[in-house]
Amino acid sequence: MKKNFIFAGLIAAVFSISPVLAAKSKSLDNVQAIEALRTIAPDRFDFAYTGELTGALQKLKEIQPGLAIGRHQGKAVPITVDLTLNQASLYETLKMIAQQAEGVADVVWDGRTAFLRYNASAPKGLDAVRLEAKKWQLGENAQPVLSPEGVLLFPFGQGQPEIVCAPLRACSIQLQQGEVINNVILGDTVRWIPAPAKTGEGPMATPHVIVKPTDKGLTTNLLVTTNRRTYVMTLRSSDTNYSSVVGYYYPYDMVQNWQGEMELAQRKADEESNRKVADMPVVTIDQINLDSYEIVGNKRLPWFPTRVFDDGTHVWIQMPATMHSSEAPALVVLDRSGESQLVNYRVKNAKQGGQDVTYYIVDKLFERAGLIIGVDRDQEKVEIVKKHVQNHTN
């Protein structure tokens, strides 16, 4: 995918965010851009940042003062990035920031200034969570997002997140609503102070783990076990680029819910389908017109109907079992001149006498209809004619 990392102005180049594609297309513009950024930051450096996208560029400027940061273009959309780079160049760092901003903003450098250009149609809030869950479902890496309330949400199950807390300030780690905390295990219990908390009451309360570092520059790990899962995270203290409240979203649960909704919808559709077929015997025998239609055509066809009848509102065409081994014909209604007209019908399977039976169920009564396979000289057709109507076989 392109347009996520753009160099404008005199150098004017657009680069792929894929390292593989970039390696295959070492254009002159790529070389010029790399060399130009190397003059600003000749040495490689470490870069670690978790937080809002705009803060990533500010953090980069703190490390590389020679990089000018310009005002963003377009309406800013909250999006989080989570980066840990070792011995990266300025070019590589900007490129990785662009990769995590994919679909929301472009990282632009005009030869002097780096800035963000936000896309008008970027997903927000819950839409961003759903988008990341879809990416996870497809085997891609889901990214942290900001909730509509401004809470930084990490995708559970996508690696071990690093949470940055401010010294001597409470940092809240929000878990899933209804979850029950069993154990909280903190690596450094001397310089980090943990405490439980919750929002709401009863079985649907939301649990929190509150942690407070006593100084900056501290790193430890935190393990939380609940009645649903085990959380493992890294804690780091810093007086810049920290988060006061973080939480999780759950791609696996969301995908399971989507699949459950699809299965439920399919079950309801199957039940409705079976119910409609099972409704057939509800009418009395004198309401079913069992001998009102004549079937005209080649009886050797594997889809030549077994019988045709109606219940006063629908026409039922029972197909033979041999149709399962052949192409199914299309059904059309024929007018008096023999011209075809489309008609609503359903193909339903039912159990009768322990046997699978297939019906074409037409949603209205008709005088003449045709079951057709093929076109022109290769066409095969069977006509179904109401007996009081004169047959016209083509």
Q: Tell me, which fold does domain 126-254 have in CATH?
A: Immunoglobulin-like (2.60.40)
For 348, phi then psi, to 5°, come to -125, 145
For 315, phi then psi, to 5°, come to -105, 130
Indicate the length of the chain as a whole number. Answer: 394
DSSP β-bridge partners for residue 6? 14, 108
Q: 144, 120, 122: which is closest to 132 by C-alpha?
A: 144
> Which residue shows structure tokens 């690093």?
162
Pairing between strand 162-165 and 230-237? parallel
Angle at 145 between CA 157 and CA 233, to 5 degrees: 40
Give the C-alpha separation, 321 to 359, whole Å.
Answer: 11
Q: Class assignment of domain 293-386? A: mainly beta
Helices and strands (H and E) in the chain: how many = 6, 26
Q: Give the pTM.
A: 0.45
High-pLDDT (> 90) share of the chain, %: 29
Pick the more confident residue, 23 or 116: 116
pLDDT band, very low/low/confident/very high, at 170 (cuts 50, 70, 90): very high
Question: Torsion angle of alpha carbons 341, 344, 347, 350, nearest 10°?
Answer: -130
**Could you tell me the two tokens for 230?**
């085990």
pLDDT band, very low/low/confident/very high, at 299 (cuts 50, 70, 90): very high
Give the C-alpha separation, 167 to 361, whole Å.
Answer: 72
Span 31-118: which CATH code? 3.55.50.60
Residues forming CATH 3.55.50.60 domain(s) in the chain: 31-118
pLDDT by residue (tens digit) across 249-298?
A: 888 888 787 777 677 777 776 666 555 555 554 556 667 788 889 999 99
DSSP β-bridge partners for residue 65? none
Interhelix angle for 90-100 vs 28-40, to 10°? 110
pLDDT by residue (tens digit) across 323-342?
A: 888 888 999 998 888 788 88
Residues forming CATH 2.60.40.2500 domain(s) in the chain: 293-386
Task: Give the Cβ contact number of residue 226 at 10 Å.
Answer: 17
